[in-house]
Amino acid sequence: MNFEIDAAIQGPLAALRERGRDEARPIGLEADRLGRPIPVDDPYFAKLVARGEGRTRWRGPDGERKARSKPKSTGSRPSRRTVKTLLFVEELAYWDRGVVVANPGVGLPEANVIAMGTDEQKERFLGPFLTPDRPRWACFAMTEPGAGSDAAAIQTAAQKDGDHWILNGAKCFIGNATRSDWILAQATVDPSQGRDAQRAFFIEQGTPGLGGFRIEKKMGLKAYESTSFTLQDCRIPDANLLGGEARYEKRDGFKGAMKAFNAGRPIVAANAVGIGRAALDEALAFAREHDRLADARVRDRLERAARKLKVARLLCLKAGWLADQEKSNIIEASMSKLVAAQVGQEATSLGMELLGTVGARGDHLIEKLYRDVKALDMVEGTGQIQRIIMARKLVGLPR
């Protein structure tokens, strides 16, 4: 048993903290004040790319060949990739979760493309992200106006037409969609068949039929764009079906998407912990400045918020550690997300309470965090959905 963060992680964490404080937080506050996403041509993005951020973790065709020819070492130490990621994500979210999502890179679809994509697809779609010449984005489009947490109910239709597919439907709340080189969109060949009939397609920006872009106005997390769009008789070549048709004959189309969601739950949890921690620090600083700490009621509430955030962080790291051990983490991943979103919200709400009417002015960081954190109880499955996922395992709740 060990809960230590070793020096190899503390170094990068310290660097993230510095950049978060100097760059992400001011830019996030500005985007919130102006009520618009960070513009595509903002020098901030170019700066990130110039210093090597926004790259894919896919190692390129040569890297992949090398990895394949190298026999898997046995008895090696287990990976700690997820745990590391969770710690970094928490620190990034502490400074500004919205800016993190806005940052250039492949983002959400990356894991699926690496896991399921053909060699040709990886080269075409991830290749430009190896050493990007400019800020580049990609995005994953699952959610529809009528299908959020119930991802098996999506209606966007994919119809085979010779060596093409015709897509029709509507997607919403898709991060960075207008600025993405390509959109990995989930569609169904037969809505009555649920998840087994789902397929994912690469839709390149500018494809005829992809349009109707509308950047949503949101309560918080304004630094990145959440966008609705439509697909009208959008013709997509066979080569853009993720993994190729053969893969879907094995009926794991939906599982591909769900796998990504599963890996994402502790990450969402870490985001909520980061935001909650930021709110708690601000609340403590405010209370200290205003001589409120002699009040036991104030102390008790701050203590409780800190304690609950610690619980959430440990549950989240445990879920990540299980993933690194390649052990099932279905219950733990959902639990961490359920708990973290709640306690993150509570911490920001407590911060508002301590601010008093200062919180009602609408110009305090805590007020922004209070709005920002709410999204995390929705994305990747609401808290209610997490309970249902857990209940299937814990009490055999039927689907």
Partner 1 sequence: MFDFEFGEDLELIAETAKSFATDALLPKLREHESARAVDATVRASYAEMGLAGLELPESLGGADLGALARVLVNEELAAGDAGAALALDPLGPALYPLLEIGGEDAVREFALPLLETDAARAIFVDAADAELEVGTTISGSVPWVPSDRVDLLVLLRDDEAIVVRDGIEIQELRGSGMRAAGASELTLTGAPIAARFEGRAEAARARARARLYVASLLVGVLRQAADFSREYAIEREAFGRPIAHHQGLTFLIVDMLAAVDGARVLLHEAAWRLECAAAGEPAAAMAFAEAIETSTFVGPNAVQILGGHGFMQDYPVEKYMREARALGLSIGGLDAAREDAWTALADAGSHVQLSHLEVAP
What are the DSSP calls for 263-328, one per residue? Answer: HHHHHHHHHHHHHHHHHHHHHHHHHHHTT-TT-HHHHHHHHHHHHHHHHHHHHHHHHHHHHHTT--
The stretch among 158-166, 223-231, 245-253, 281-289 that binds partner 1 (CB under 8 A) is 281-289
Dihedral sign, Cα of residue 26, residue 32, residue 34, residue 37: positive
- How far does CA 205 lie from the centroid of its chain? 21
Query: Which of these segments, 34-42, 47-55, 222-230, 284-292, binds partner 1 (CB under 8 A)?
Result: 284-292
Instruction: Name the nearest CA neighbour of 8 among 83, 94, 70.
Output: 83
Closest CA to 200 of 188, 208, 212: 188
With contact defined as beta carbons under 8 Å apart, do 263 and 110 qualify? no
Shortest distance (Å) from residue 229 CB to partner 1:
34
Instruction: Determine which residue in the list 31, 83, 99, 272 makes contact with partner 1, applying CB under 8 A.
Output: 83
Residue in this structure with the two tokens 């896991």, named with its chain if needed: 115
Q: Using the rule CB under 8 A, is 265 a contact of partner 1?
A: no
Residue 380 annotated among the catalytic residues of the structure: yes
Return the number of the residue (332 or 372) whose C-beta is nearest partner 1.
Answer: 332
What are the φ/ψ torsions at residue 310 (nearest 5 degrees)? -65, -40
d(CA 311, CA 180): 37
Q: 């994919």: which residue's tokens?
A: 158
CB of 260 to partner 1, least distance (A): 23
Of the candidates 90, 144, 367, 380, the residue annotated as catalytic is: 380
By CB under 8 A, the residues from 297 to 316 that bind partner 1 are 299-300, 302-304, 306-307, 309-315
SS3 assignment, position 214: strand
Distances, alpha carbon 77 to alpha carbons 5, 73, 86, 288, in Å: 17, 10, 19, 45
Q: Does residue number 153 form part of the binding site for partner 1 (CB under 8 A)? A: no
Q: Does 322 bind partner 1 (CB under 8 A)?
A: yes
Query: Rounded to an integer, what distance in angstroms lies between the CA atom of residue 96 and that of residue 25?
Result: 5
Nearer to partner 1, 1 or 246 (CB): 1
Of the two residues 2 and 69, which places its CB atom closer to partner 1 in the complex?
A: 2
Which residue(s) pair with 94 in the sheet? none
With CB under 8 A, what is the number of residues at the site for partner 1?
Answer: 54
Given the rule CB under 8 A, which of 39-47, 52-60, 292-300, 368-376 is the region that contacts partner 1? Answer: 292-300
Q: Is 388 in the site for partner 1 (CB under 8 A)?
A: yes
Give the residue from 211, 247, 213 showing the smallest Cα distance to 117: 247
Which of 115, 219, 293, 360: binder of partner 1 (CB under 8 A)?
293
Is residue 292 within the footprint of partner 1 (CB under 8 A)?
Answer: no
- Closer residue to partner 1 (CB): 85 or 205: 85
Q: Smaller CB distance to partner 1: residue 66 or 288?
A: 288
Rounded Cα distance between 197 and 326, Å, is: 28
Q: Among 46, 115, 219, 285, which residue sits at the site for partner 1 (rule: CB under 8 A)? A: 285
Q: How far is the CB of 180 from partner 1 (least distance, A)?
A: 33
34: how many CB neighbours lie within 10 A of its CB?
A: 12
Q: What distance, in Å, lies between the first and last C-alpha atoms of the chain? A: 36
Residues 338-377 that bind partner 1 (CB under 8 A): 338-339
Is the CB of 66 or the CB of 310 nearer to partner 1? 310
Taking CB under 8 A as the rule, does residue 1 contact partner 1? yes
Q: Which of 281, 292, 371, 378 binds partner 1 (CB under 8 A)?
A: 281
65 makes contact with partner 1 (CB under 8 A): no
- List the catalytic residues: 380
Interface residues with partner 1 (CB under 8 A) are: 1-6, 9-10, 13-14, 17, 80, 83, 91, 277, 280-281, 284-285, 288, 293, 296, 299-300, 302-304, 306-307, 309-315, 317-318, 321-322, 332, 335, 338-339, 384, 387-388, 390-391, 394-398
